[in-house]
Structure 1
Amino acid sequence: MGIGNKTIASIFDSTMFVLILFSLLLSQHHCAEVYEITPSQPFSQTQSLVSPSRLFELGFFSPNDSVNKYVGIWHTNISPRKVVWVANRENPLAASDTLANLTISSNGTLELVDGKQNSLWSTNISVPSNGSAAELLDSGNLVVKDNDIGADPLWQSFDYPSDTLLPSMVLGFNSKSGKRNLMKAWKSESDPSAGLFLVGLSWDVPSQVFIWINESKPYWRSGAWDKSRFIGVPDMDNQYLSGFALHDDVNPGTKYFSYRFFDNTLSYFGISSDGVLSLKLSDNGSNWGLNWEAPVNPCDIYGTCGVYGVCKGSESPNPNCECLKGFVPKSNEEWSNGNRTGGCVRTTELFCDQSNTSRSFASGGKEDGFRKMVGLKLPDFHELIEKLGPDECKIRCLNNCSCQAYAQVNNIGCLVWSSDLIDIQEFASGGMDLYIRLANGELDKESQ
């Protein structure tokens, strides 16, 4: 049976209808991309706020099919998707709430409201005009600005990191105001609320990057900054010199770390929910590759071998701990059972620590000396004694009975330690020299 003209016309009409509908859908999808949020143009869940070059986008998401919904920022078209910032990480929306939106309120505040118009998150700023607008920059920074007031942002997401550090973001602190910029890990892969691990810059001089557990317990540290790299990261070589910087007192009392790659490689530092800090790169703009991470073995974990213990690189689950020369385990029982965190104690009392009546008998009347160890991650709690050469550094430490060790580090100077030596690691390559104070009787001829 042949096909009639009416049937052909009907097929043609149906095909055209499908094509027109498809075109409309594409058009609506394209229109879903917006470039700013204004008081008259709130941001809905069907939209995507994109940066000018479409490097980043902001939108609503539910991580790993969570029952909750969040507003976040991520790179456009890079797999796997990495959410680099979350607005309402502590106040999620119900995934079933389809009416929630981002809006600029009458006082210029960017605000997330749920379907019942309850505020779940806001920038908490107030400006005397209604010209505020929110934009997403190609750096990944969400800014709220008011051109009637000035060009500088009234608020920016870079001041409130989540678990990610992007190029041009800063990690640091203002000692005067007490404000700190910290990376805060997600609680889990499906829960972006603040978890156990924090990443930040220490207060000491020179500063170190730390991973802390529960805000204060050290978990990993980078070693001191030597004006070009962190000396406790042996694979941080010259490839980083052009992009990593630690800025000190740009404004009085401020110190912060930042980075950027001059070839514009897309990248991010992230802290995972289980405490691993990593640097990932996207050379081709389509997927992420691991460049560096820490900690990677038991020796990287802070204080694994306790005070006066040194951890030697180990790929096994059990750290290879040894006491420094002149020291023995504080508890032989704990040490033999594999618990080395109690550390080590001196076998011979220092000349400095002896009373005047016992010095001659115990040490033969000889002053303490130093034993050199090479290739180390230097201990925590260093103190910087500026403008001293190696000889002066040694004398300064020797003449101070509280000084337990010293090191002369290029681009830093004289570092001394007046507290128990902790978190020492021996590297397979790289590392620094450390001179450890010992009683004269513990020194061999090569170390005197």
Structure 2
Amino acid sequence: MNMGFITSSYKSPTNLQLLSFFFLLFNLHASSQSTNSSITHGAMIRDGEIIVSPGEVFALGFFSPTNSSSRYVGIWYYQIPDQTVTWVANRDAPISGNFGVFGIRNGSLSLSDANGTIYWSTDSFPSAGNLTAMLLDTGNFMLSTVADAGDDQNALWQSCTDPTDTYLPNMRVYMNITRGDSVSFVSWRTSSDPSRGNYSMEIDPRGAPQIISWDESRRRIWRSGQWNQQIFTGIPQMRSLFLSGFRLVPVNDDVMYFIFNNPNATPFMRFRINSTGEIEQLTWDEGRLEWVVSLALAFHSMPTV
């Protein structure tokens, strides 16, 4: 009978077969994880979809700030229940409605609506059909060729060189000594509006580098004191908080970068300039489920000399 045939033909899988099966499952899982952390050429993220960094630290997708219906593309902490946005693409050009698409087209990353209107884009690069955009566990989002995926030294564009208001550990803040320019971090206008606000901070590379903050009229309102290879001299708290974390790294005769990569730091730590002009260091408290301000540098309480 058929039932007898089916029963008698069954054989227990060998150890080799089981090993092959689990190896296949592992590779499928790894492939899925890799795909979910990147956007390939021609692929698009639509409103409601996200990509997640390989270690599930950060996510990228569409969001609306509190008390707002406007839509933006941004990066936030994936595992923190209180959505905390660290980078915004179209901060000055929100989309109305849930019809945005974001991806790689014609050699650039771009954000558009259903009508094809472009709200934000990077420069266009010649390797149009060979590009990928990857979200890293550092919170950096980079566009590169497929061969250089994940390599920030050879990235064509990356969010850490086009930041919003937030500095994250392991982010490289580049500056050009010859031209005297540096990456600028600009506050949100309000907690519900990520457009460029009234305050900014950057590292002034002229002479011994120092952090400068400015108001909307480009009036200097605070400075950190000069870098002495260990701390910024106007922030004595750095001796206990960050002494082994910050480094100034030369790239060539013209370019250098600052980086903070203290191995003892929690991954859920960030620095930002807020909408009132304060420079804050915040750490996520798992017990209280909230961000705790560990250090606040307010221009109205700090000397500018």
What range describes the TM-score normalised by the shorter chain of this pair? 0.7 to 0.9
CA-based RMSD of the aligned residues comes to 2.5
SS at match of 2:66: helix
Contact 1:90/1:193, CA 8 A, preserved across alignment: yes
C-alpha offsets along residues 131-176 of structure 1, whole Å, 9 cap, x if unaligned?
Answer: 2121111111111122257863221111111100011223352134
Q: Which residue identity lines up with residue 57 of structure 2 in the other structure?
A: L
Higher RCO, 1 or 2 (CA under 8 Å, sep at least 6)? 2
2: CA distance between counterparts of 1:160 and 1:208? 20
2:43 matched to which residue of 1? 41
Q: Are 1:128 and 2:127 an aligned pair?
A: yes
Contact 2:184/2:201, CA 8 A, preserved across alignment: yes
2: CA distance between counterparts of 1:294 and 1:147? 41
1: CA distance between counterparts of 2:103 and 2:206? 42
CA deviation after TM superposition for structure 1 residue 301, in Å? 5.4
Task: Decide which moves more: 214-223 or 225-234.
Answer: 214-223
CA deviation after TM superposition for structure 1 residue 216, in Å? 2.6
Count residues in correspondence: 268
Q: Which residue identity lines up with residue 119 of structure 1 in the other structure?
A: I
Output aligned runs, 1:48-447, within 5 Å: 48-94=50-96, 96=97, 98-105=98-105, 107-147=106-146, 152-176=154-178, 179-214=181-216, 216-247=218-249, 249-266=250-267, 267-282=269-284, 284=286, 287-295=290-298, 298-300=300-302, 302=304, 423=305
CA deviation after TM superposition for structure 1 residue 284, in Å? 4.0
Contact 1:125/1:155, CA 8 A, preserved across alignment: no
**Under a length normalisation based on structure 2, what TM-score does the superposition of the two structures give?**
0.80
**Under a length normalisation based on structure 1, what TM-score does the superposition of the two structures give?**
0.56
The runs of 5 or more residues in structure 1 that have no matched partner are 1-29, 303-422, 424-448
SS at match of 2:72: strand
Distance 1:130 1:215, change over 3 A: farther
CA deviation after TM superposition for structure 1 residue 196, in Å? 1.2
Contact 2:180/2:204, CA 8 A, preserved across alignment: no
Contact 1:186/1:195, CA 8 A, preserved across alignment: yes
1:433 matched to which residue of 2? none
CA deviation after TM superposition for structure 1 residue 78, in Å? 1.9
Distance 1:134 1:215, change over 3 A: farther
Distance 1:258 1:148, change over 3 A: closer
CA deviation after TM superposition for structure 1 residue 218, in Å? 1.2
C-alpha offsets along residues 319-374 of structure 1, whole Å, 9 cap, x if unaligned?
Answer: xxxxxxxxxxxxxxxxxxxxxxxxxxxxxxxxxxxxxxxxxxxxxxxxxxxxxxxx
1: CA distance between counterparts of 2:207 and 2:55? 40
Contact 1:37/1:135, CA 8 A, preserved across alignment: yes
Larger radius of gyration: 1
1: CA distance between counterparts of 2:171 and 2:148? 24
C-alpha offsets along residues 243-301 of structure 1, whole Å, 9 cap, x if unaligned?
Answer: 11233x432222432212202412110100110100112364954221101117x4415
C-alpha offsets along residues 165-203 of structure 1, whole Å, 9 cap, x if unaligned?
Answer: 011223352134565201111111111111111111124
What is the aligned-residue identity percentage? 32
2: CA distance between counterparts of 1:301 and 1:231? 12
Distance 1:204 1:179, change over 3 A: closer
Distance 1:128 1:171, change over 3 A: closer
Distance 1:77 1:215, change over 3 A: farther
SS at match of 2:160: helix
2: CA distance between counterparts of 1:149 and 1:191? 35
